[in-house]
Structures are given as structure tokens and as C-alpha cells.
A and B are shown apart, each in its own frame.
Chain A
Amino acid sequence: MIEGILIGVNTAFSGYNILMVMMGCFAGTIIGMLPGLGPMSAIALMIPITYGFDPASAMILMAGVYYGAIFGGSTSSILINAPGVAGTVSSSFDGYPMAQKGQAGKALAIAAYASFSGGTIAALFLLVAAPQLAKVSLSFQSADYFALMCVGLLSIAAFASKGQFLKAMIMTSLGLALATVGQDSLSDITRFAFGNINLMDGISFVLLVMATFAMSEAFMIIFKKMDINFKSSDVSKSSLGSIKLSKSEVKEMVPTIGRSSVLGFLVGVLPGAGATIASFLAWGFERSVASAKEKIKFGKGSIKGLTAPETANNAACTGSFVPLLTLGIPGSGTTAVMLGALLSFGVQPGPRLYVEQPELFWAVIVSMYIGNVVLLVLNLPLIPYIARILAIPKNILVPLVLFFSVTGVYLISFNSFDIYFMAVVAILSLILRVLNYPMPPLILGFILGGMLEKNLRRAIIINDGSFSFMWERPISLALFIIMILIISLQVYQGFKKNNP
């Protein structure tokens, strides 16, 4: 393990990869700050840029973009009460009131220190937890992987669907169905291509991600007449106020950071939960443990109320790498996009990654420390300048996002069909989003579809055509019990909602 860490440190601290982290954090901050464009869009837009990179550098860049986007989302939450990312919605509860009181600089500093602490503590947890989980998962067989992927799909549908479980399950099914387009990996039989040569190789993952996130987000900005009523003068240094924190304020933050880091990391590790749930839970938890005097301050500019979600969302981002790197199962929509990108590089995340490609495994973990330092050292002093990006009018932003999306897809295949197909998918996903169909389950279904089929096939063939592996293997049985519990919880919640 020590040798692996040293290889990772060596890789992550190369000048080139440090540049990648810095670029990733910077680009992520800018994109995450723009209301409507979240980390998934930010990472999707980065995929074409990483074509010429080695997998470690690409992954480091994307990880930097991920936590940069979360940090950027906090900035727009605090300054204009328009969260760029769902995971930072709860930051606006106390961040925006602070900004209104003329303490925007202080709020941004709290967000930066809390994000840094949450990310760093969680990276330490990751350092310990990931290798242990990787060792355990080496004993997993096809049946267990199949069950684990089912749990992942089910939980992302349950937790990321904002009460629309059935609609999320439809999207999961659609994602799985789209994954079957093209050649069957074992028999090479072409399925659902309808004689179209462009579909025989299957649907491109980048195309689907770009269409459902980046392009459809751009369409959504126009579609919903979203306006970014923000002037660059609003973030001049003088209007932000001081970014210095007093000793008593730091003292107030410390216990909250400790609690929220643990909570955020644990929630992040769970498949489907992620930064949004972690930040809301942390805010709610801090409020519940606060004294009666402090409780009143929540929602009106409480330091603890801002520290908790900011710490938890960054810790959850780091936590979501645990299932991705050790099991090859993404814990969130964003890590699902990263998994797709890794697969397109020919890297198969999972327990073997830890053994076979330690430079990639450890470099990503080590780069998280670097990323957190970059966010603190580079972004905090630059906030007044970076925040001016919020002043970009939508009529400039939208064509640029469309251009980057189209270019990203065109560069893979140099095929115009992909552009037409992408535009159609983007329009359809726009309509589905308006009708409250969540997109992350679709992407997760699409990415896991191939692996799910492969593992199910193996499990069934090993069991002579029987599904008995579901209850014969203890790991599979435990995972199927978890699935039943998730479904029961959804049924119960639906029943409770209808019969209050």
C-alpha cells in the first residue's frame, strides 16, 4: 500500500498533473457558478478535452472539475441566491442572508474553509476505506456484482428522484434499453440498430451525456426564460466585505466541520445519495443539535448553518469515489459520467484497479488533497474576479455551451449523424425534464447496462440457468434484501404521501 501511495504521490505531483488539477478546479468553479450548469455538465464538457490525455491525468482533471463545480455552485448560492448545483442549495439558506448583511466575503471564506476541511478529512477517510473495500470486493462474484449494480440503480432512482420514484425507474429502464443498442458483447449479434450503420456500434456515451446534460441545460436556460440578473459591479472587492474570520468564528466552525465531514463522507459512499442529500442532512442535523439560541439564527445567516452543508457536500463528493474506484459502481450521476469516461479510456474501475493500476488509483486520491488546496489558495482570493463570470448574459452563454457540446461529440466520430441524433436526444430530454423525469438514472442505467448484462449472463450460466444465486450467495442475498427494503420504503412513503 505504501508503495502504491508513493507511486500515486509521484504521479499526482508531476507538474503536468498539478496543472490539470488547477485547470480542473478553475474550470469547474466557473462552470459550477453558472446557474443551470452543474458538475455533470462541467465534466461532460471536459471529456473532449481529455481525449489526448493519459487516464490518470484525465481523471485528475475531472475530479478537479467536480469539486471545483461544487465550490462554484456555492459562490452563486451565496452571492445571488441562485445555486448552480443542487448540492449547494442548502448553502444559500444561511449564505445568502449573510451576503445581504454585507458579509458576502466572510460567507465565501467560510464556504472555502469548510469545503477545504470537508474535502481533506474525507480524502483521509478515502485513503483508509478504499483499499479495505477493494480487498473485500475481490471476493465478489458475478452474482454479487449483478446484485450490487441493481442496488446502485435502485437507490439512485429512489434518492435522486425527488419523490418521483416510478418516473426515475422508467428512466433507469430506458437507460438500460439504450445500452442494448448495437452489438451484443458476447455473440456479436446486432440489436435494435434498425439497419442503420451509425447505430451498429451502439450509442456513444459522450453523446448521451452531452445531450441530456450540457445541451439540454443550454436549451433549458432559453426554454424557461432563465435570466441571470447580475452585474459584475455587484462583486467588486468593496461590496464583498472582509474575507477574514475571527477566532470565535473559527471556533464555532470546528465542531460542525468534524460532524459534517463524517456525515457527508458516509452519505457520499452510499450509492445514489451524493452531495445534495448530504448537504441537506448536515444542515438539518446541525440545526437539531444546536442550542435554542443558535437555532433561531439558522436560515438568517448562521455560521454553523453555512459551514455544515459546505463541509458535507465536499466530503460527499470525495466519498462518492469509494464505490467508483473500488467496486466500479458509481455512487452518483456525476461519478457515473466519470465511470463512462474511464471506460472510454479502456480503464475498468473495480477492485483490480487498486492492484493493477495503482498510479491511477492513488493519483486520484492524492490529487484530491491538491485540489482542495488549490480551491482554497487559488480560488478564494480570486473570487471577486471569478464571480464576474456570473455577468455573462445567457445569449452569449447558450450558443457557447451548444458549440462545445456539438464539438465534443463531433470529435469522437467526425460523423454528422451524431450531431443530429444528439440534438434530437437533447430536445427529448428537455421535454422529459419538464415533466419531472430525472436524468441521472438514465445515465446510470446506460453506463451499467453492459456490465449488468455481462454479470447476469455469467451468474445464470454458472447456476445452470437458475436464478437461485439470488438467495444462495450471502452477499447477493444481503444486497437483494437491501433492494427489497428500498422498494418497501418507497411504497411506504408513497402511501404516506397519499394518506396523510
Chain B
Amino acid sequence: MTINYSRISAFVFLLIFLIYSYLAGEIKVFAFDENADFNARTFPKLISYLGIAVSFLTLVLSKNEEENLSQYEWISVLILFVLVFTYGLLIKSIGFFISTNLFLIISYLYLGVRSYKVIIFSSFPVVAGLQFMLHGLLDVYIRDPFLQLLGVIS
């Protein structure tokens, strides 16, 4: 049996479903439900049996698939991931408008956009338009300290 990415992923899934199975058995149910025909543990246990069975079969039956994972742009995706994460961190503290524009501008610059006209027209009007639609038309309130400070929203 040769090791390939399919087998490794199947093994990881096998471990996940084994842990899931263990955790399913640990779900605390009410005393009167302990011996019931169907309680909060039953369905997760059935899923875990299915998951274990199919992961095991994949592990055993997987064929060699040529997949060169080094050819992909891992770094760029990870940087975008960090940007999304940071966006999530900032959205509450500095507000929707500034954090979103910052996210868009930094992402454009990182991905190689150099025209300031394009950067500005693809960020501020888009965010302002969406915020107007949500706040002004659909009555969806988004807390925004910056726009509150400017008196744009109450």
C-alpha cells in the first residue's frame, strides 16, 4: 500500500470520525432518556459508523492520484486568509465602512492592482452603495463608529 494524498486525507477523516464517535458516546442525556430507543446520542453514533466505514474504505481502496500540491499559490491564499481574519478583527472596533475599505484596498494592492483610479472606484462607491442599500433601504443596522462620528448614520 503506497502513501498518497487521498490515503492521508482518508486517514485524517478516519481519526476525525473515531473521535466523533467517542464524543457522541459522551453526550450527556437525561436520566429518563438513557435507555430510550432514540436519544441525543443515537443519530451522531449512526453518522460516526457511516463516516468510519467510508473513510476506512477510502483508505484501503484509494488509487494513486498524481497531485503536485507544490504548484499552487499557497502563500497568496494564506495572505488573503490573514487579511480576511484581520478584517474580522477590525470590523467591530473601527466599524464596517473603514475596515471594509481597508480590506479591499490592501487586497487590491497585494494582488497587483496599481491604478489608484481602479482601486478607489472599486472600493469606496461599492462599500458606500452596499451600506446605503442595507441601512437606507433594507433597514439593516450596521454599527459604524466612524460614520456615527461624521453624523452620516445615527
Contact check, A395 vs B54: say whether CB atoms are below 8 A apart: no
- Provide the A45-84 mask, 1 if CB < 8 A to any CB of B, else 0: 0000101100000000000000000000000000000000
- Provide the B34-62 mask, 1 if CB < 8 A to any CB of A, else 0: 00011110111011101100110110010
**Which residues of chain A from 386 to 413 have a CB within 8 Å of any chain B CB?**
393-396, 398-400, 402-403, 406-407, 410-411
Contact check, A423 vs B44: say whether CB atoms are below 8 A apart: no
**Which residues of chain A from 451 to 472 have a CB within 8 Å of any chain B CB?**
452-453, 456-457, 460-461, 464-465
At the interface, yes or no: A174 with Cβ under 8 Å from chain B? yes
**Of all chain B residues, which has the CB nearest A191?**
B27
Contact check, B9 vs A435: say whether CB atoms are below 8 A apart: yes
At the interface, yes or no: A377 with Cβ under 8 Å from chain B? no
Q: Given A225-B73, A407-B100, A423-B88, check contact A398 B111 (CB 8 Å).
A: yes
Contact check, B113 vs A395: say whether CB atoms are below 8 A apart: yes
- Provide the B64-82 mask, 1 if CB < 8 A to any CB of A, else 0: 0101010011101100110
Contact check, A434 vs B29: say whether CB atoms are below 8 A apart: no
Q: Return chain A residues, CB-CB under 8 Å to B39.
A: 187
Q: Return chain A residues, CB-CB under 8 Å to B10.
A: 170
Contact partner of B111 (CB less than 8 A), chosen from A395, A416, A422, is: A395
Count of interface residues, chain B, beta-carbon cutoff 8 Å: 69
CA distance A215 to B88 in the complex (A): 14
**Of all chain B residues, which has the CB nearest A418?**
B88
At the interface, yes or no: B94 with Cβ under 8 Å from chain A? no
Contact check, A52 vs B88: say whether CB atoms are below 8 A apart: no
Contact check, B111 vs A170: say whether CB atoms are below 8 A apart: no
CA distance A403 to B103 in the complex (A): 8
Q: Return chain A residues, CB-CB under 8 Å to B43.
A: 180, 452-453, 456-457
CB distance from B78 to the nearest CB of A (A): 8
Number of A-B contacts (CB under 8 A): 171
At the interface, yes or no: B146 with Cβ under 8 Å from chain A? no
At the interface, yes or no: B147 with Cβ under 8 Å from chain A? no
Contact check, A434 vs B72: say whether CB atoms are below 8 A apart: yes
CB distance from B65 to the nearest CB of A (A): 7
CA distance A416 to B127 in the complex (A): 18
CA distance A465 to B58 in the complex (A): 32
At the interface, yes or no: A167 with Cβ under 8 Å from chain B? yes
At the interface, yes or no: A222 with Cβ under 8 Å from chain B? yes
**Which residues of chain A from 148 to 181 have a CB within 8 Å of any chain B CB?**
166-167, 169-170, 172-174, 176-177, 180
**Of all chain A residues, which has the CB nearest B56?**
A166
Q: Given A177-B20, A396-B122, A399-B107, check contact A166 B58 (CB 8 Å).
A: yes
Contact check, A411 vs B113: say whether CB atoms are below 8 A apart: no
CA distance A416 to B86 in the complex (A): 10
CA distance A166 to B122 in the complex (A): 43
Contact check, B44 vs A177: say whether CB atoms are below 8 A apart: yes
At the interface, yes or no: B118 with Cβ under 8 Å from chain A? yes
Q: Return chain A residues, CB-CB under 8 Å to B130.
A: 407
Q: Given A52-B140, A434-B69, check contact A184 B118 (CB 8 Å).
A: no
At the interface, yes or no: B5 with Cβ under 8 Å from chain A? yes
CA distance A215 to B85 in the complex (A): 13
At the interface, yes or no: B138 with Cβ under 8 Å from chain A? yes
**Which residues of chain B from 106 to 136 have a CB within 8 Å of any chain A CB?**
107-108, 111-113, 118, 122, 126-127, 130, 133-134
Contact check, B38 vs A460: say whether CB atoms are below 8 A apart: yes
**Which residues of chain B from 1 to 47 have a CB within 8 Å of any chain A CB?**
5-6, 9-10, 13, 16-17, 20, 23, 27-30, 33, 37-40, 42-44, 46-47
CA distance A431 to B95 in the complex (A): 32
B positions within 8 Å CB-CB of A? 5-6, 9-10, 13, 16-17, 20, 23, 27-30, 33, 37-40, 42-44, 46-48, 50-51, 54-55, 57-58, 61, 63, 65, 67, 69, 72-74, 76-77, 80-81, 84-85, 87-89, 91-92, 100, 103-104, 107-108, 111-113, 118, 122, 126-127, 130, 133-134, 138-140, 142-143
The 10 A-B residue pairs whose C-beta atoms are closest, nearest first, are A419-B88, A465-B37, A395-B111, A399-B107, A173-B51, A52-B138, A169-B54, A453-B43, A184-B40, A166-B58
Q: A172-B50, A222-B80, A407-B130 are in contact. List 6 more A-B contacts (CB 8 A).
A: A167-B58, A170-B13, A170-B58, A396-B113, A406-B84, A416-B88
